[in-house]
Amino acid sequence: MLHGHAVRFHRAGSGPLVLLLHGIASTADTWAPVAPALAERHAVLAPDLLGHGASAKPRGDYSLGAFASGVRDLVAALGHDRATVVGHSLGGGIAMQFAYQYPERVERLVLISSGGLGREVHALLRAATLPGSELALAVLGAGWLRSAGGAVASALGRVGLRAGEDLAGVAAGIASLGDAGARTAFVHTARAAIDAGGQRVSATDRLYLAAELPTLVVWGDRDPIIPVEHGRAAHEAMPGSRLEVFAGAGHFPHREDPARFVALLERFIASTEPAAVREARWRELLRTTR
């Protein structure tokens, strides 16, 4: 329990903490292909964010800032001070917000197919923010449609999602919306970051602050949800960052090639010193004219 709300999380391993943050309508289970290998050398923590999975779905604030605060409290409650923070999609936006709000708690930043780095996003997510979307999601998440896997796959294929992890991930997200609480949390989360025109929350004006953090950007070059160009532009804007593009991969590169992802993350951690951002340095950066 955290602030009176149930929070489900996976926890394994020991050593420096690697914090894994999933995307919208996903759960901690998205990390199942990589978490056991990471836990051989690190403490690994992967929560179901509030409003997702088996965690509570309270009526409340589903902004990036609120998610970042909740993650900070969970990490502290479990006895950790700092972490290498890894975020996928929405989780990437939360990871950047976490680093912005609590830089002293972040050793490294890893962004996978991250939100918050550009305007473009798939039409499915834009549609979820429209008036009446709750009713449409109730139909999509209904049991009779969830049982018709072929129909779901066909419909998603028509909007550009390939068979494999992209289609499976989005179909699982739709299936999770059969519960009214999950639908409400999903819509509130989507509307906090997206509107009909695309992503409306952006970290691009603050990426220069990442010069203080070892940062790795990972993307699939065939991502249909958030274009890889966002990752390339973010890499250019973040001094000293590293960019790794998985050829042929979509929105879930950590699941499409988990062995490559684990090896990449392990090398990144081993080859970088954990950041130690001090308040005076943060003030200096914020006063810099950009």
Stated as kind and residue range, the H or E segment containing 173 is: helix 165-175
Averaged pLDDT for residues 22-42: 97
**Per-residue pLDDT at 158 exceeds 70:** no
Catalytic residue at 251? yes
Averaged pLDDT for residues 15-30: 96
Of 133, 251, 254, 257, the catalytic one is 251
pLDDT at residue 124, as a whole number: 83
Q: How far apart are CA 67 and CA 2, in angstroms?
A: 13
Q: Give the number of other Cβ atoms within 10 Å of residue 9's Cβ.
A: 17
On average, the pLDDT of the chain sits at 89
Q: How far apart are CA 272 and CA 259, in angstroms?
A: 20
Averaged pLDDT for residues 74-88: 97
Domains within the chain, CATH numbers bracketed: 9-119+202-287 (3.40.50.1820), 123-195 (no CATH)
Q: How far apart are CA 284 and CA 281, in angstroms?
A: 5
Q: How far apart are CA 214 and CA 206, in angstroms?
A: 15
**Per-residue pLDDT at 97 exceeds 70:** yes
Stated as kind and residue range, the H or E segment containing 150 is: helix 149-158
pLDDT category, 144, cuts 50, 70, 90?
Answer: very low
Which segment of 14-28, 108-122, 197-211 scores lowest on mean pLDDT?
A: 197-211
Higher per-residue pLDDT: 8 or 122 = 8
Q: How far apart are CA 47 and CA 76, in angstroms?
A: 13
Higher per-residue pLDDT: 144 or 217 = 217
In this structure, what DSSP letter does residue 216 have? E
Q: How far apart are CA 39 and CA 284, in angstroms?
A: 37
Task: Report which of 44, 104, 32, 92 is spatially closest to residue 64, judged by C-alpha positions.
Answer: 92
Of 48, 166, 223, 257, the catalytic one is 223
Catalytic residue at 89? yes
**Per-residue pLDDT at 130 exceeds 80:** yes
Of 89, 114, 133, 176, the catalytic one is 89
**For 124-141, b where at least 16 C-beta lie within 10 A, e where not — what string?**
bbbebbeeebeeebeebb
Averaged pLDDT for residues 182-189: 91
Stated as kind and residue range, the H or E segment containing 112 is: strand 106-112
Averaged pLDDT for residues 179-195: 90
Which segment of 128-137, 139-148, 219-228, 234-243 scores lowest on mean pLDDT?
A: 139-148
Q: Give the number of other Cβ atoms within 10 Å of residue 1's Cβ.
A: 8
Q: What is the pTM of this model?
A: 0.92
pLDDT at residue 150, as a whole number: 52
